[in-house]
A and B are shown apart, each in its own frame.
Chain A
Amino acid sequence: MKKFISLALCLALMVGCMAGCGSKGNNTSATSASPAASASATAIKIGGTGPLSGAAAIYGTAAKNGAKIAVDEINAMGESIQFDLKYEDDEHDAEKAVNAYNTLKDWGMQISLGSVTSKPCEATSALTYEDRIFALTPSASSTAVTEGKDNQFQMCFSDPNQGTASAQYISDQKLGTKIAVIYKNDDVYSKGIYDKFASKAKELGLNIVSATTFTDDSQTDFTVQLSEAQKAGADLLFLPMYYQPASLILSQAKSMNYAPKFFGVDGMDGILTMEGFDASLAEGVMLLTPFNADSTDEKTQSFVKKYKELYNETPNQFAADAYDCVYALYSACKIAGITSDMDASSICDKMVATFTDANFKFDGLTGTGVTWDKTGAVSKTPKGMVIKNGAYAGM
């Protein structure tokens, strides 16, 4: 009898798990199937990978949603260029990104949106280079993504640019005289920004009084790092990291009664959408981001409105970058005369030529008159934002 009960429980658990997995599978196939159904048979196939689940899912989901809005808009125009969009989950993991990329290749992807985050994109960009598929990543900012690859382009500014731009901005606006930095030592993104920031800061004569680190394993307690910064008398704390550890730093600094100016980078974007986050902690936090959801610009407003209607939250910079990616591809396809019956490698050659053409300028949500150089890096100026009353405001 007992054996029977435990067997039955076992079965129930297994069925439960399968039901869980099954429903998840259904969801993804449903969402990816619907554009295929709406787009005509002659649509150009665009694929991308991003973390749709896992710790970085907020970025992947935002990028996917942003790209989806752009694709739907373009398809609704009913012109000759139609897109068919498919996003695969990579869980912010390089190996899974390769699998996701292979799935997309089997599907017949003609143009790639790369990967959303840097580590997976380093892996997939090597494959798009080998397979001669044109790739434009919305947000993978590491330089390793584009290095030595002629057909890999970025929509966001690269890590070194963020580091130097942050130092430049702090110096120009005279935001602080004594600067402390806390960065994540085991993360290319954080370390990359810090290195460039430090060298630029030296050049500009900014005084870095304390630089402390943490890792994935020790990102709970920051009292030591904060007290060092406080002891050194830092009046500005630079946080080149993602928003999750940053939120802990903000709350621990508050409980220590340490209130310097906080300056973040694009990874800080998303801190306000954390469920249960006390927005007053982030009051006055500055960050450099190319996108401002409160902008009065007509294009931005319509995008934000659509995004809010569909997904019930304010779009972040990742959504805007992905939206811009699709439109950049759209205008390049128009100029280069790309049609859906071309194969990926001939599309790739034409797109590379178009993107590196000095006359190709793109106006989007995240910048106007945007151009790309031969390395694949984008020319954009980051905008300084400050969090006021729980929302971004321009500085």
Chain B
Amino acid sequence: MNFLFYVISGISLGSIYAIIALGYTMVYGIAKMLNFAHGDVIMVGAYISFCATSYWGMSPFMSVIVSMLVCTVLGVVIERLAYRPLRQATSLAVLITAIGVSYLLENLALLIWTSNPKVFTSIVGTGSVKLFGGQMSITTVTLVTIAVCVAIMIGLTLFTSKTKMGKAMRAVSEDKGAAQLMGINVDTTISVTFAIGSGLAAVAGVLLCSAYPTLTPMTGFMPGIKAFTAAVFGGIGSVPGAMIGGILLGIIEIFGKAYISTQLSDAIVFAVLIIVLLVKPTGLLGKPINEKV
């Protein structure tokens, strides 16, 4: 029974990592850059939703829409100002810029919302579904998160394989130069990627704070790092990989705490990551990239 309880806790935590990891992996898969500011866009999304419900009197559903819109615009603006000028620069320069953007967002949030933690009211209620005649329960937030994750995963897969823009994205991801020669507007394609990634970040932020309700300007940072780990674990660039990686990471973390030691939980998580990467350097579902000469 305890084992099942820990599995459910692990899935709850992991589903949050998974939904953040989806945004990470999508941007990496197409723009081939690590957007470290992703975690902070999540934080902004959560704040916008908080403000919309608490100050502007909107319904929870509307607040998610508003927060998605704001984050989409924010993502496009960040890409335009911080990343586009560095399109030809080394990937290290882009990485450092991304870290800079992350700090910028955190400190702007500090100025605007101050550091006093705010308590986020769950947008999907605090109910839970009873299993095994009331012995176990799984919160609605977890169920909603998993459902949203699956929906996003299917949506993203269909989008990249069926639509024109999706095909353009895959082309850009394989070879920017060749894509441009084929008449694809690389800048627009990458902007759209960021717009989608940031819109997803808003959803992730709202769900993160619905599950773990304290909201501060640092809220997105640690889950962002963990989700990045999950994305690498599942094979960065692979959408289903991010989902599997996230959920596995959550389960490993909870099992580590429960069966080995609460003091070592993070050490265990990262030890597993190292082992997986040693055995399978591209992650669980990552595809090895063949360099064509």
Contact = CB atoms under 8 A, between A and B. Distances in A.
A224 B257 contact: yes
The 5 closest A-B pairs by CB, nearest first: A276-B119, A224-B257, A57-B115, A223-B9, A277-B119
A57 B2 CA distance: 39
Contacts of B114: 53, 57
Nearest to A215: B266
Interface string A239-280: 000001001100100010000000000000000011111100
12 contacts: A9-B81, A10-B81, A53-B110, A55-B218, A212-B262, A213-B263, A220-B222, A248-B213, A255-B126, A255-B139, A274-B116, A275-B116
Contacts of B121: 276
Interface string A265-305: 00000000111111000000000000000000000000000
Contact of A54 (B5, B115, B213, B266): B115
Interface in A1-38: 6, 9-10, 13, 17, 20, 24
B115 A20 contact: no
Nearest to B213: A251
Nearest to B226: A217
A228 B5 CA distance: 11
Contacts of A224: 6, 9, 254, 257-258, 262
Give the secondary structure class of B's interface.
helix
Contacts of A20: 108, 111
A53 B253 CA distance: 32
B17 to A, nearest CB: 11
A255 B115 CA distance: 27
A235 B37 CA distance: 43
B51 to A, nearest CB: 11
Among B9, B137, B223, chain A packs the most CB atoms within 10 A around the CB of B9
A225 B118 contact: no
B279 to A, nearest CB: 25
Contacts of A24: 111
B32 interface: no
B110 A54 contact: yes
Contacts of A56: 115
Nearest to A216: B222
A312 interface: no
B133 interface: no
A199 interface: no
A53 B217 CA distance: 11
Nearest to B110: A53
A174 interface: no
A218 interface: yes
A27 to B, nearest CB: 11
Given A220-B223, A221-B13, A255-B126, A57 B116 contact: yes
A231 B6 CA distance: 13
B108 A6 contact: no
B214 interface: yes
A58 interface: yes
B194 interface: no
B100 to A, nearest CB: 12
A207 interface: no
Interface residues of B, number: 44
A231 B77 CA distance: 50
Contacts of B117: 244, 247, 274-275
B91 interface: no
Given A185-B263, A220-B212, A275 B9 contact: no
A244 to B, nearest CB: 5
A9 B212 contact: no
A53 B115 CA distance: 6
B77 to A, nearest CB: 7
B288 to A, nearest CB: 31
Interface in B63-87: 77, 80-81, 84-85
Nearest to B126: A255
B180 interface: no
Interface string B115-131: 11111110000101000
A53 B113 CA distance: 11
A324 B155 CA distance: 61
B238 interface: no
A214 interface: yes
A20 B257 CA distance: 42
Contacts of A244: 117, 214, 216
Contacts of B254: 221, 223-224
Nearest to A185: B263
Nearest to B264: A213
A55 B119 contact: no
Contacts of B2: 227, 231
A214 B12 CA distance: 18
A151 B84 CA distance: 56
Interface in A196-226: 212-218, 220-221, 223-225
Given A13-B81, A248-B212, 12 more contacts: A6-B84, A185-B263, A213-B263, A218-B253, A224-B9, A244-B214, A247-B213, A255-B137, A273-B116, A275-B117, A276-B50, A276-B121
